[in-house]
Amino acid sequence: MKISTLIIVTVITVLLIFSGYTVFRQNSVNPNDAAEKNKPLIAENSHYVEYSKAAYNQAWDKRRVLFFYASWCPICKPADESFKQNVSRIPEDVFLIRVNYNDPDTDQAEKNLARKYGVVYQHTFVQIDQNENVVTKWNGGEIDELLSEIKFTEKKAAFAIFTNGTFRIFTAAMYHNLSPNAFITAGNPNIITITKPEITWQEFFSTLPFSLTSECLTTGTNETFCSNGDNELKFYLNGELLPTVLGQEIMNGDKLLVTFGNDSEKTLQDQMARVSNPLE
């Protein structure tokens, strides 16, 4: 074989080996990454999911409950089925996360959670707060026990009201500490503290000395602002237009803008920016 031919064959062989290695590297996936990515929701759009780092982190502002589950556990399976069949009964601000415990599906992150919260056997439930501290902990049960055991944790939300471009203030004492369930204080009168479950925006606003409906706002100084052909009363929850918001439960971290007028999109964006972050 001529030397030139041998060189060409060698070069082609090296290129083929390198190309094959590159394709292998591109198609190779860390098993842990693949498992994390492919962990499904137990029920679509529900508050009961299988553990993943993403689900765990995204629910940080909810009442997170960790359900330590084992596939070989005879009492865990009925509980799992109970939660699946009763997802609609789980409160909106509760996020139930099924964490594998000491079974073939348990990954390192799940082992770390069990160690962190002192879980020593399956069918254990741990409710944690936003800072990942234990709120309460119990063993056993299905949907009824879950609903009776979970504890309410104080929620914070924020609101701002504008009328014809004017930012309404609530610094007067007449607006402060009017209900034990949902109230504002002199320290920051645009931040709401909620101490009872299932308080709606309408229930909160009804505690204040003014009137607010989906069509009209009557202030504490008896000024009235009602939707008409030229101006409109609008509600934006977390940046989204939501005319029916008054009937919704206040969730932790919610930011509500109530605005009356005929404002430009830029003005509306500026008003939304004035709504405080209640979790800071």
Same domain for 110 and 204 = no
Is the domain of 183 the same as that of 228? yes
The domain in which residue 205 lies consists of 155-273
What does DSSP assign to residue 42?
A: S
| Cα–Cα distance, 76 to 102 (Å, whole number) | 13
| Burial bucket for residue 91 (CB in 10 Å: 0-12, 13-18, 19+) | middle
Q: Are residues 144 and 194 in the same domain?
A: no
Q: Report in angstroms the alpha-carbon separations of 259 from 59, 162, 164, 203, 231.
A: 29, 5, 8, 19, 10
Among 98, 121, 149, the domain-final residue is 149
Q: Both 99 and 185 in a single domain?
A: no
178, part of any domain: yes
Does residue 1 sit within a domain? Answer: no
Same domain? 122 vs 211: no
Domain count for the chain: 2
Higher pLDDT, 8 or 57: 57
Asked if residues 157 and 256 have their Cβ atoms less than 8 Å apart, the reply is yes
Same domain flag for 205 and 114: no
Q: What is the pLDDT of residue 62?
A: 86
State which H helix or E strand residue 255 sits in.
strand 255-261
Sign of the alpha-carbon torsion through 224, 229, 231, 236: positive
* 221 and 179 share one domain: yes
In a domain, 14, yes or no: no
Q: Domain for residue 117, yes or no?
A: yes
Q: How confident is the model at residue 13 (pLDDT cuts 50, 70, 90)?
A: low
| Centroid of chain to Cα 49 | 13
The lowest-confidence range among 34-48, 128-142, 249-263 is 34-48
CATH of the domain at 269: 2.170.130
Residues 6+ apart with CB under 8 A from 18: none
Rounded to two decimals, the pTM is 0.65
Q: What angle do CA 68, 81, 122 make, to 5 degrees?
A: 20
CATH number assigned to the domain comprising residue 109: 3.40.30.10
Q: What is the mean pLDDT of residues 257-264?
A: 96
pLDDT digits (tens, 9 = 90+) for 63-75: 999 999 999 999 9
Cα–Cα distance between 146 and 17 in angstroms, integer?
A: 57
Residue 78: both structure tokens together: 């009925």
Model confidence at 235, pLDDT cuts 50, 70, 90, reads: very high
Residue 279 falls within a domain, yes or no? no
Work out the angle at residue 192's Cα, subtended by the Cα atoms of residues 151 and 242, and round it to the nearest 5 degrees.
Answer: 100
Q: For residue 176, what pLDDT is reported?
A: 97
- Contacts of residue 184, Cβ cutoff 8 Å, sequence gap at least 6: 170, 175, 176, 177, 190, 191, 192, 193
If we measure between CA atoms, which residue out of 256, 273, 206, 267 comes closest to residue 231? 267
101 shares its domain with 160? no
- SS3 label, residue 32: helix
Residues 204 and 261 in one domain: yes
114 — phi, psi (to 5°)? -60, -40
Assign 38 a pLDDT band (cuts: 50, 70, 90).
very low
Give tens-digit pLDDT for 51-105. 999 999 988 888 999 999 999 999 999 999 999 999 999 988 899 999 999 999 9
Cβ 93 vs Cβ 157: under 8 Å: no
Element (H, E) at 19: helix 3-27
Q: Are residues 133 and 191 in the same domain?
A: no
Q: Does residue 35 sit within a domain?
A: yes
Structure tokens at 195: 């101490």
Residue 44: is its pLDDT beyond 80?
Answer: no
Q: Are residues 95 and 122 in the same domain?
A: yes
Banded pLDDT at 192 (limits 50, 70, 90): very high
> Residue 155 pairs with which residues in a beta bridge?
194
